[in-house]
Amino acid sequence: MNRVLISLLIGISAAGITLAGPYDIEARPSAAPAMRDGDLKLPADYKSWPVYLLDVQRPELKQIRDIYINPQGLKSSRPFAYGTTMVMELHSVKTSADGKPEPDAYGKLQKQGLSKVFVMGKGAGWGQDVPPEQRTGEWVFAAYDASGNSLGKDMSACRGCHVPLKDTDFVAKVPEFEAARANVR
Ligand code: HEC
């Protein structure tokens, strides 16, 4: 390479015209950084999102769970679209003096208060920083307390339960979701 060519190349780079290189390739298709566990924010407006499933009864955990899905995710399923976010509220339930859940007149658990909020979201290339056996496709997880404070970055427990759900794109309750969605107009 002669000097004229070298200085020409330097001139081009300085002008902001980047020559294709490894960095360029890595940056595509999206320049946004891949999300990791704990990175997903608690969406401020999730209560106005379509309902995924309400009132999931978990008497053994003394919990009721309400699940929401964002509009981007609503139309997709196994696999869910990039940009899908799901939010699950965990509510504690009323208990009787012996500590057992106290159902209402219809046999349903009764909500006492919000205890935690779990979030999972899917995007291109997300969640690849964990060991292969802990990967849940391109989903990442986050968890918040009832006041919206982050519960940290270690979401390996979440992964432990969601990893086996490969047939439903690592999401639980998918048949129930699909049935409920079919009734939404
Ligand atoms: C003990 C197993 C287990 C663990 C641990 C677990 N999940 Fe789940 N997750 C489930 C099951 C089962 C459901 C379906 C709702 C139900 O039956 O309670 C679910 C549902 C969800 C949903 C609603 C969408 C769906 O898959 O149906 C989100 C969001 C979610 N979990 C996020 C998390 C996050 C975040 C963590 C960790 C902080 C976590 N989960 C830990 C088993 C688990």
CA-to-CA dists, residue 15 to 8, 11, 59, 87, angstroms: 11, 6, 64, 45
Tens-digit pLDDT profile for residues 151-182: 999 999 999 999 999 999 999 999 999 998 87
| pLDDT given at position 6 | 45
**Model confidence at 185, in pLDDT bands (50, 70, 90)?**
low
The confidence score (pLDDT) of residue 144 equals 98
Question: Is the beta carbon of 93 within 6 A of some atom in ligand 1?
Answer: no
Beta carbon of 143 within 6 Å of any ligand 1 atom: yes
pLDDT surpassing 70 at residue 184: no
Neighbours of 126 (CB within 10 A): 22
Residue of 90, 53, 81, 84 lying closest to 68 (CA atoms): 53
Name which of 88, 91, 90 is nearest 70 in CA terms: 88
At 6-38, the pLDDT tens digits run: 444 444 444 444 444 444 444 455 567 899 999
Q: 159-173: b or e for each residue (b if 16 or more CB lie within 10 Å)? A: beebeebeebbbbeb
Ligand 1 atom index nearest CA of 141: 35
Q: Give distance in angstroms: CA of 182 to centre of ligand 1.
A: 22
Per residue in 97-125, pLDDT tens?
A: 999 999 999 999 999 999 999 999 999 99
Residue given tokens 């919990």 in the structure block: 63
Which position has the higher pLDDT, 45 or 6? 45
Top pLDDT among 6 and 129 is at 129
Is 173's C-beta closer than 6 angstroms to any atom of ligand 1? Answer: yes
